[in-house]
Amino acid sequence: MSRTLVGRAAVAVVAALAVTGVAACGGGTSGVDGGKIKLSIGVFSDFGYDSLIKEYQAAHPDIEVEQRKVKMEQHHTQLATQLAGGRGAADIVAIEEGNVAQFRQSKDKFVNLADYGAKDLKSQWAAWKWNQGTADDGAFVLGLGTDMGSLALCYRRDLFEAAGLPVDREEVGKLWPTWQDYAATAQTFTDSTPNVKFVDTALNVYKAILDQTEEGYFAKDDSYIADKNTKVSDAFKLAAALGEKKQTGALAPFSQEWNVALKQASFATTTCPAWALALIKAGAGDEAAGKWDVAAAPGGGGNWGGSFLAVPKQGAHPKQSYELAKWLTAPEQQKRIFKETGNLPSEPAAYQDPEVTATVNEFFNKAPVGQIFGNSAESLQPTYRGTKDSKVTPVFSNALARVEQGKQSTSDAFTQALKEAQDVAK
């Protein structure tokens, strides 16, 4: 979900405190008070739970719910320290897709939701979403899926027009059935308008390609395979070639400079999961309304992001926590959250709902985002995330960045990345 620069700043400051040991523990607030059961739920950015929680409290007079909102990076670090300390975590915690594999490794710190009947809910979710939240071949249910990111490609209509490319979203989608076609389009674009970058960063192209393969850095038995998986090197080379040809802006995704570049219209396309629409809109500003549009992503479908609700074992009320998590992630609630915040539902009953599919986004030239993102998620074959995926990923991101910045050749960067990844994956 949203990662803003101010958020990053806050993260760094809190990190500084954590390093000096000040923010060691938050202290749990859950308990029974005056006959009321107090539950806490820890989320990051906007999960759209404000009004839902009020409604839940009204329907359950014996339960009081406290919502804690923290920025994303900080949220997961904080959760890790709270699990380590054995106290301070909320009764229900949100975990983002990129981090869930890492916490799966410490699943004994969480309640197995299957003990409370979670397996009966399995059919609610897209199969891949359900699987991401489970461990031990589905025997251990770690978390219930909230939203999903899905994947599309956002492009600037005026810049495409200037480069002599089609602007209609259907036709733009037809330009790039595969990522090779996308790279070819980049070449056409650069040939006619060499002063504008085709894409903001090679990093996100790489991530999108890799997330469309069944196995990335790790095989399904969690063994490290990045050094022999040609899918990894192919994706790396394709993205790095964009960087070597200076067709990327070499921007850190969602950074301050990325926002400035959006405002200055200095790049023409960017990979966009559903949650990125709000970031693009905020960065580009109102004067860019109608200039951005949403097309299908190359390679057929994809997912980036989305979260799960898990229940740490240290909480006092696992049963009540599970009930609340179950209610919050049910299709009716997901649909309402979509209408309120735009967070895309991860359950067919919600994302195939006519009300959702009919939703258009005014800022993005009235693109039917409900439909585009729903279709993309439907055809999705998600990649397997190893427990050490979040440790290996930055190594390859840095390598790509070095190529974009002209510091290293593609092969040198890739060789160095493999060596470093080997170290963190062992």
Partner 1 sequence: MAVETTAPVDDRRWLLARLDGKYTPYLIIAPFFLVFGVFGLYPLLYTAWVSLHDWQLIDGDQGFVGLDNYAALVADANFWNALGNTLSLFVLSTVPQLPAALGLAAVLDRGLRGRMFWRAGVLLPNVISVAAVALVFAQLYGRDFGIVNYLLGLVGVDPVDWHTETWASHLAISSMVMWRWTGYNALIYLAAMQSVPKDMYEAAVIDGASKWRTFWAITVPGIRPTILFTVITSTIGGMQLFVEPQLFDPGGTATGTGGSDRQFQTLVMYLYEKGFRLFDAGYSATIAWVLFLVVLVIAGINFSVTRRIASKG
**Interaction site with partner 1 (CB under 8 A):** 3, 5-6, 8-13, 15-16, 18-19, 21, 73-74, 77, 80-81, 83-84, 102-103, 105-106, 109, 249, 251-252, 255-258, 260-261, 264, 266, 390-391, 394, 397-399, 401-402, 405, 407, 424
Which residue number, 149 or 374, has a Cβ lying nearer to partner 1?
149
Grouping H, G, I as helix, E, B as strand and the rest as coil, residue 311 is coil
Question: Amino acid identity, residue 376?
Answer: S
Cβ within 8 Å of residue 394, ≥6 positions away: none
Distance in Å, CB of 222 to partner 1, minimum: 16
Tokens describing residue 18: 């954590």
Q: Of 14, 28, 21, which is closest to residue 88 (Cα–Cα)?
A: 28
Distance in Å, CB of 254 to partner 1, minimum: 9
Which residue number, 90 or 165, has a Cβ lying nearer to partner 1?
90
Which residue number, 317 or 402, has a Cβ lying nearer to partner 1?
402
**Could you tell me where the beta strands, DSSP code E, fall in 273-388?**
292-296, 306-310, 344-345
Which residue number, 141 or 399, has a Cβ lying nearer to partner 1?
399
Distance in Å, CB of 251 to partner 1, minimum: 8
CA angle 127, 132, 138 (to 5 degrees): 75
The answer to whether 216 and 384 have CB atoms below 8 angstroms apart is yes
Q: How far apart are CA 402 and CA 362, in angstroms?
A: 37
> DSSP letter at 22?
T
Q: How far apart are CA 348 and CA 127, in angstroms?
A: 10
Q: Of 92, 86, 204, 184, which is closest to residue 142 (Cα–Cα)?
A: 92
Which residue number, 6 or 58, has a Cβ lying nearer to partner 1?
6
Which residue number, 13 or 139, has a Cβ lying nearer to partner 1?
13
Torsion of CA 71, 76, 81, 87, to 10 degrees: 80
| Exposure b/e, 129-142, CB count within 10 A at least 16 = b | bbbbbbbeeeebbb
Distance in Å, CB of 328 to partner 1, minimum: 25
Grouping H, G, I as helix, E, B as strand and the rest as coil, residue 126 is coil
Distance in Å, CB of 57 to partner 1, minimum: 32
Which residue number, 5 or 289, has a Cβ lying nearer to partner 1?
5
Distance in Å, CB of 399 to partner 1, minimum: 8
The answer to whether 165 and 234 have CB atoms below 8 angstroms apart is no
Distance in Å, CB of 369 to partner 1, minimum: 26
**Could you tell me where the beta strands, DSSP code E, fall in 213-342?**
267-272, 292-296, 306-310
Which residue number, 213 or 397, has a Cβ lying nearer to partner 1?
397
Tokens describing residue 391: 């440790």
Which residue number, 102 or 320, has a Cβ lying nearer to partner 1?
102
Distance in Å, CB of 285 to partner 1, minimum: 14
Distance in Å, CB of 261 to partner 1, minimum: 7
Which residue number, 13 or 282, has a Cβ lying nearer to partner 1?
13
Distance in Å, CB of 243 to partner 1, minimum: 11
Q: How far apart are CA 303 and CA 274, in angstroms?
A: 9
Tokens describing residue 396: 């390859």
CA angle 37, 40, 122 (to 5 degrees): 95
